[in-house]
Amino acid sequence: MHRRVAIIGGGAASAALLGELLERQPRQPLHLDWYTGGGSAARGIAYGTRSNRHLLNVRAASMGMFAGKPQGFLDFVQREDPAIAGTDFLPRHRYGDYLEAEVQRALALGKAYGHDVRIVPFAADAVVPEADGVTVFRGEETRRVDAAVLAIGALPAQPLAAVGESALASGRYVVDPWPLLANPPAEVPGHVMVVGLGLTAADVLLELAARWPDATFTAISRHGLLPEPHLRATALPAEDSAQLVEAMQDAPDVHYWLRLLREAMAQEDDWRSVIDSLRPHTPALWAALPLDQRARFQRHARWAWERARHRMPPAVHEGLAALERSGRLRRMRGQLQQVEADGDGLRLQLHPHGRDASKTQTLRADLVVQSVGMEFDAARTPHPLMRQLVVNRHVLPDPLGLGCQATPQGRLLHQGGAWARLFAIGSLLRGTLWESTAMPEIRQQARAVADQLLAE
C-alpha cells in the first residue's frame, strides 16, 4: 500500500482519482498532495466554460464521476430539477458544478476517515521517479511520496506547421480557442476562419456566432465534414458485437477492419449501434494493432472514426445547420498550406480537395481560430513538467504522438521497463488505450489506479 501519494493535475481525471482514494478506508490513513495547477480545481479546461451553448457530448445518465455510481451526475442534477432525463445533453458547466460538489464531499469524507489532503494550487515543476518512491518539486519545496499519478489532461495547444511568425505576432491567429471564448475581444471581426471541424470547432462556431451576430464564418478541414449527431433517443449497441470483435482481433489490419465495420453497419437499422458496441473492446483492439497499422489508421481512418464515434448533441447539430442555412457558415475541404499576416488581417493559402485539387486558393480573414482538438504529443510539447520528464528520459513518448508509453494498467514506461510508482490516467494514455479522454473511460482508469495504490 502506498500511503503518500501525489496527484498532479487539476481536472476531472484527478478529481475522479481523489474521490476513489478518499472514499475508501484502507488499513492506514492516506497523505495526499493534490497539485491542481491553479484555477478551479476539478473543472479543468473541459468543464471550466460557463456558456449554456457548450453541451456535454454524452448523455447525462452516463456521466457519473465514479465507476461504482455511473448515474451520479444524473442524480445530482435531478435533485435540482427532477424533469431532467437521463437522455439529455446538459451544459458542461453543470458537470463542472457536479465535479466540485463531489470533490467537497470526498474531502469531508476523507477527513472523517483520517486521511490528510494537502491541496497545492500550483503545478508541479518536476517529478523524479525511482524504484522506492517519487520526488516532486514545486518551487523551493521538495516532497517525497510513495507514488505519483499524472492526470494533467490535454497538453497545451501548438500552432499548426503552416502558421507563419507574422500571423502569430499579429494576434489575429488564435492557437487556443478557450481563452478567446471566455473573453472575446471588443473589436468584432467581419469574417472568421475556423481551422478544424470537430467537437471543439462546433463549440467555437456556436459561441462566436452568438457573440458576434454580424460576423460570417468559414470552417476548414481535410474532409469538410462535421461530427455525426447523436440520435434524440438512445439506441442499444449491436447484439452480435462478439463475432465482429473476434473477427477484428483475428486479423489486425485497418483496411480489413473498415470492411468488416461497413458490412456490420449495413446489417443494422442504425450504424451507431455498431460503433457503440465496440466501445468496451477498443483498448484490446487497439493493442492488437501493430505500430505500422496504428500509423495507417492515424493517416487514413482516424477522421472517419472520430466523427462517427465522438458525436455531437442534436441541439448542436441543429444550431450549426441553422448557421449554414442563413449563409453565415461555409464549410470547405482542404489542407492549410500557409497563414501569414496581411495588413489588418490574415492571408491563408489552402490546397483544396475535390475537383479543384490542383488549384491553390487564397483566402482572407480578420481572425483565424485553430480548433483542431486535443494535443497529445509529449515529445514536442512545451508543457514544463512533461518536458522535464521526457528530456530526463523518465518517460517515453508514444511514437505516434499519442501521450506516453504505458502499460494498460497506467504504469508509465521508461527504458528499463514500467515504473512501479509512477502512473498516468486520462489523455496521456491515448497511445496505449486509444479511447482515454471521455469520463466513462477515465472513471474506470481512476478506479484501477486506486486499486493498485491501495493494494496490500
Looking at the predicted structure, is the pLDDT value of residue 104 above 60? yes
CATH class of the domain whose range is 165-228+312-370 = alpha beta
Distances 57 to 88, 89, 439 between C-alpha atoms, Å = 10, 7, 11
Task: Give me the pLDDT at residue 269, please.
Answer: 86
pLDDT mean over 91-96: 96
DSSP class of 230: P
Sorting pLDDT into bands at 50, 70 and 90, what band is 359? confident
Q: pLDDT tens for residues 54-78?
A: 999 999 999 999 988 989 999 999 9
- Which helix (H) or strand (E) covers residue 135, if one does? strand 133-138
3-state secondary structure 85-131: CCCCCCEHHHHHHHHHHHHHHHHHHHHHCCCEEEEECCCCCEEEEEC
Q: Cα–Cα distance between 302 and 320 in angstroms, integer?
A: 23
Q: Cα–Cα distance between 10 and 94 in angstroms, integer?
A: 17
Residue 51: how many other CB atoms lie within 10 Å: 16
Beta strands at 417-424 and 411-414: parallel, antiparallel or unpaired: antiparallel
Q: Cα–Cα distance between 36 and 121 in angstroms, integer?
A: 5
Q: pLDDT tens for residues 114-161?
A: 999 999 999 999 999 999 999 999 999 999 999 999 999 999 999 999
Sorting pLDDT into bands at 50, 70 and 90, what band is 236? low
Yes or no: say if 40 and 48 are a contact pair by the CB < 8 Å rule.
yes
pLDDT mean over 327-331: 97
- Which helix (H) or strand (E) covers residue 339, if one does? strand 329-342
DSSP class of 427: G
Q: Which residues contact 53 (CB under 8 A, 6 or more apart)?
A: 91, 203, 206, 207, 210, 319
Q: Cα–Cα distance between 178 and 185 in angstroms, integer?
A: 13
Q: pLDDT tens for residues 426-446?
A: 999 999 999 999 999 999 999
Q: Cα–Cα distance between 29 and 441 in angstroms, integer?
A: 27
Every domain of the chain with CATH number 3.50.50.60 lies at 4-155+375-454, 165-228+312-370
Sorting pLDDT into bands at 50, 70 and 90, what band is 234? confident
Give the position of cell 451576430. Answer: 213
Cα angle for residues 327, 332, 335 (degrees, 5° grid): 155
Q: Does domain 4-155+375-454 have CATH number 3.30.420.40?
A: no
Instruction: Residue 283: name the closest of 439, 429, 449, 68 by CA.
Output: 429
Looking at the predicted structure, is the pLDDT value of residue 288 above 90? yes
Give the 3-state secondary structure of residue 312.
strand
Q: pLDDT tens for residues 369-428?
A: 999 989 999 999 999 999 999 999 999 999 999 999 999 999 999 999 999 999 999 999
- Alpha-carbon dihedral angle through residues 230, 312, 435, 42, given to the nearest 10 degrees: -120
Burial of 187 (0-12, 13-18, 19+ CB in 10 A): exposed
Q: Which residues contact 442 (CB under 8 A, 6 or more apart)?
A: 12, 13, 16, 425, 426, 436
Q: Cα–Cα distance between 418 and 448 in angstroms, integer?
A: 16
For the chain, give the number of residues: 456
3-state secondary structure 382-415: CCHHHHHHHHCCCCCECCCCCEECECCCCEEEEC
